[in-house]
Amino acid sequence: MPVHVLVLHAAVIFVPLLALGAVVYGFVASWRPKIGWAVGLLAIVAPIAALITMLSGTEFYNRLLSLGRVSPPGKVILDGHMANGTTTFWLTLALGVVSLTLVVLTARNPRALPKFADLGFALVLVVLAVLSGYYLYETGDSGATAVWGTY
């Protein structure tokens, strides 16, 4: 069984958890002391899961191509799937970096930042969370189409 098929589930779990945790952390300062450790951990684990998924997918794709197991229409679907996966990784990495930055800046005092900076972080987190979730969905949908669709 290809490694990609196994590790992709880590990204499917950790990326949405990071997105949700980051948005809550960004907007609900009173919860920061309670969930900061989890958001910080997810900010590290989710991008790593996305990276491993992307790299294992690239290896799987290259192996399928070398074995001649991809039809021309299937290659188009897989190319889209890989582009979505790459975008998912970069967005998840950005979400992780911004989340971890906010956690570090507010670890000792949940209200350490000026209001405008706090709101700015929260809005950036929402945008990155939505985009990460959207591309994660698109990646999964195109991957499912590649596996189960007809082409």
Residue 114 lies in a domain: yes
- The number of folded domains in the chain is 1
Q: What is the pTM of this model?
A: 0.95
pLDDT at 10: 98
- pLDDT at res. 18: 98
In a domain, 1, yes or no: no
Domain presence at residue 124: yes
Low-confidence ranges of the chain (pLDDT < 50): 151
What does the pLDDT read at residue 110? 96
Q: What is the model's pLDDT at position 150?
A: 55
Task: For residue 17, give its domain range.
Answer: 6-148
Q: How far apart are CA 121 and CA 83, in angstroms?
A: 27
| Dist. CA 117–CA 115, nearest whole Å | 5
pLDDT recorded at residue 88: 98
